[in-house]
Structure 1
């Protein structure tokens, strides 16, 4: 089973790029974030043409939105939450119908948090922390996860080598201690396993995002690992390979995030 995640940054604008993702990664399940379109305008035809006959989406005009595209039947998990009471389409939980039993997949788009890492003066940062806290409490209430995968643009780069400069990024939203600690509590609440770091040791650089502002993003390489794939502990032994499609950052009209893949055996 190959599960991929990509913050596509407008699915209607970048629908043609989905073909390249499929050609490079051949995912069975593709989770998208920042689809930026209401459900009635989602490009179902493009997804269907790529073999994703099963789709569950939740979107809104202009921003946010998540989608799960699959080659296997899907069922939406009924205990959906309206995080922070905003109704802003940042989470989908689905059950994937597989021969050995359903696989639970959660697709998240965590708020970015604005520019100032102070909840008292920045309501966007407060929203981000509140969002993660609510998700953590929900995860703890459900108990340790099993046969589950969580993916998405979580907008937190937790480890020293998830950012280009640990020292310079400590005061920058996405790598501040309060965010890193919040993510650690979320992981602990579900006993999640960081699948990407299974393959890339913690002392090695690992990025999935490079700013549009960089004129030569490859040369400066000031990246961050904002996109994650976590698995339940019972799936950790089945991890087979990963891929970070770095070349996608050079595609015409591409996202500032790149697709990430995990292959798992059951």
Structure 2
């Protein structure tokens, strides 16, 4: 079975329902993982999704904040949800496809503005989330799994517009990158996107603060697709749909795609 998966921080699924439907009509991924849905599950608009054939969903939600959903036109069953760092936030949900592949959808805390947990509680929460995720993978190494989401870390020098200028900016600090790599190593994960696009700058997020985001191009790769070692070689055709950042009233993130032949 071949299926295409997309991950997208939508920044309110109800506010941007039209963009979700546009993506599904024009790009037609088999599975769409959304983060920052900002909606209780029972308020996620389903009519348009169902009309396009996306009749399966697992989700965790809360009013106005966070929220993750896996929307699919392929049958799937819920495979759990964890509250890493005991934050009480809707930041993780998992689903299993009929071919046995488990998809984990994460929205890792952004971490606030100051990269110091002694003065910024949110940064500590981010590091704790990553530490618990690492420890979970040490305890039970995943197999036949894909992990996607807004992980809020740009790990490589070519994942940011200026490595030197962002070393002390949350999302690219050395301690965050260290935690990111420890999570990857603990789970035996492979970076599906960089397996396909190994060299060159690559971004999935551009700040709303930029007057002309496209020309300034001060982006970061915060959105990721990982695969466990046993299925990593089945992944291909990775891409970032950059033009979605320029749609009307867009999210500040662009969707990231990958296809798996399994």
TM over 0.5: yes
Quote the offset at 1:77 in angstroms: 1.5
Quote the offset at 1:86 in angstroms: 2.0
Q: Deviations over 1:137-166 (max 9, x none)?
A: 1111112x2211000000000000000000
Q: Deviations over 1:87-138 (max 9, x none)?
A: 210000111113xxx1100000000000000010000000000011011111
Alignment of 1:133-152 (within 5 A): 133-143=131-141, 145-152=142-149
1:189 aligned to 2:186?
Answer: yes
SS of the counterpart of 2:133?
helix
Give the TM-score normalised by structure 2: 0.97
1:35 aligned to 2:34?
Answer: no
Tell me the distance in 1 between the aligned counterparts of 2:131 and 2:216: 34
Moved more, 39-48 or 26-35: 39-48
Tell me the distance in 2 between the aligned counterparts of 1:50 and 1:206: 30
Give the equivalent residue in structure 2 for 1:164.
Answer: 161
Quote the offset at 1:210 in angstroms: 0.2
Task: Give 2:114's match in structure 1, choosing from 104, 110, 116.
Answer: 116
Moved more, 209-218 or 49-58: 49-58
Aligned residues: 260
Contact 2:107–2:149 (8 Å) recurs in 1: yes
Unaligned stretches of 5+ residues in structure 1? none
Give the equivalent residue in structure 2 for 1:206.
Answer: 202
Tell me the distance in 1 between the aligned counterparts of 2:231 and 2:50: 29
Task: Give 1:155's match in structure 2, choosing from 148, 152, 156.
Answer: 152
Task: Give 1:175's match in structure 2, choosing from 166, 172, 175.
Answer: 172
Quote the offset at 1:239 in angstroms: 1.7
SS of the counterpart of 1:92?
strand
Contact 1:33–1:67 (8 Å) recurs in 2: yes
Unaligned stretches of 5+ residues in structure 2? none
Taking structure 1 as reference, are residues 40 and 23 closer, same or farther at Cα in structure 2, changes over 3 Å only? Answer: closer
Tell me the distance in 2 between the aligned counterparts of 1:82 and 1:155: 17
Give the equivalent residue in structure 1 for 2:129.
Answer: 131
Tell me the distance in 2 between the aligned counterparts of 1:198 and 1:167: 24
Give the equivalent residue in structure 1 for 2:49.
Answer: 47
Moved more, 133-142 or 185-194: 133-142
Q: Deviations over 1:225-246 (max 9, x none)?
A: 0000001112122122112110
Quote the offset at 1:25 in angstroms: 2.2
Contact 2:204–2:221 (8 Å) recurs in 1: yes
Task: Give 1:250's match in structure 2, choosing from 246, 253, 256.
Answer: 246
Tell me the distance in 2 between the aligned counterparts of 1:16 and 1:107: 22
RMSD of the TM alignment (CA)? 1.0
Give the TM-score normalised by structure 1: 0.95
